[in-house]
Amino acid sequence: MISSLHLAEKKKKKMGKTREIKKRIKSVNNISQVTNAMQLVAASRMKKAQENAEKGKSYSEQIKQIMLKLSLNKTITDDPFIDPAYSQDAQADMIIVFSPQRGLAGALPSNLVRFATKFGNDIASAGRAVQLVTVGQKIRQQLANQPWEFVADFSDMPEQPTTADMRPLIKLIRDSYVNREIHRAYLIYPGFINALTQIPTARLLLPLDLEGLELSHETESLNTEMKSNSVYMFEPTREEIFEELIPAYIETQLYQTRLETIASEYSARMVAMKGATDNAKELKGDLTILYNKSRQAQITQEVAEINAVRSRN
């Protein structure tokens, strides 16, 4: 009697183990289906975001070329937006950090947080205060505990912002610089290289770094072009054109940064979800093998018990 109860209890445990493995297989399979769907959605949106980012680069480069040609006239260097000494007495630098809006983007948010934290700490180490502006919920949540001045958040900005969407952010940056509240304004964002590579990047927005707009050999070719050709006639004046181009340049840089951030977010999410799907499928295969072994052992035991009963009879 005791032996029969023992065998029944042992059989019950094995059946429970088999059912548990089956439940895990079903759960892993459900997760695999979800991550695969998210991968497909991210891949579709990434393609569109990548196209937008590439188109934006062309316009951005044209603005840079025009500004560079105009700036070859040394009289324009008195403009406050390209004069490094204009706000040198300001005690703070502003960093505008663009980040993913949602999670499930792999290591992209954490890499960006580490980069932005180090960049801000380097500014603080140089004796300047840090003013923080965020565009994207993930970075806002992560950097909230930093000992910096949190100025504003623009996480509700659309993926493809219009001029009206960008205007409050542009006004904040320009006013802070013109009023000499900040010495420099930097953009920090995940630079989009390709679907597999997104690199945290920092770029000076204000004052305008005209020397860094193009590579040295391109600048030299423009200088040569300006010297070799006849004098350019500008209508209105070169200074007036340059003054009108500055807001367009700032808007273009912010817009392009937003597009690259979105492209990086969807690329990182696509890769992360593909990895999650592959891992789920591998785990499902391992669990299936374990289930088959457990089920086979259970059947073998049942056959052995039946044979033992028959032999006693």
Q: Which tens digits make up the pLDDT trace of 251-283?
A: 888 888 888 888 888 888 888 888 888 888 888
The string of DSSP letters for 210-279 reads GGGSS-HHHHHHHHHHHHHSPPP--SS-HHHHHHHHHHHHHHHHHHHHHHHHHHHHHHHHHHHHHHHHHH
pLDDT single digits (tens) 34-90: 888 877 777 777 777 777 777 777 777 777 777 766 666 555 556 777 777 778 888
179-189 mean pLDDT:
93
pLDDT band at 185 (very low <50, low <70, confident <90, very high): very high
Nearest to 107 by CA among 203, 200, 202: 200
Find the helix or strand (DSSP H, E) in which 36 lies.
helix 2-71
Residue 16's pLDDT is what? 64
The pLDDT mean for the chain works out to 78
Every domain of the chain and the residues it spans:
46-270
Distance CA 308, CA 286 (A): 33
Domain 46-270, CATH 3.50.50.60 — does that match? no
The pLDDT value given to residue 72: 61
Tell which residue, 293, 295, 285, 291, has the closest CA to residue 29.
285
Which of these ranges, 3-12, 214-223, 289-298, has the smallest mean pLDDT? 214-223
- Describe the strand order of the beta sheet including 197-206 as a list of residue ranges: 149-153, 129-135, 92-98, 185-194, 197-206
- pTM recorded for the entire structure: 0.76
Question: Residue 148 has what pLDDT?
Answer: 92
Per-residue burial over 171-187, b if 16 or more Cβ lie within 10 Å, else e, is ebbbebbeeeebbbbbb
d(CA 107, CA 277): 16
* Listed residue (54, 128, 137, 132) closest to 103, CA to CA: 137
Name residues whose C-beta falls within 8 Å of residue 100's C-beta, 6 or more positions apart in sequence. 108, 109, 112, 136, 138, 139, 190, 261, 264, 265, 268, 269
* pLDDT band with cut points at 50, 70 and 90 for residue 229: very low
Nearest in space to 261 (alpha carbons), one of 36, 119, 52 = 52
DSSP state letter for 107: T
**CA distance to 9, 68, 72, 307, per residue, from 215 (Å):** 78, 11, 15, 85
- Distance between CA atoms of residues 77 and 219, nearest Å: 16
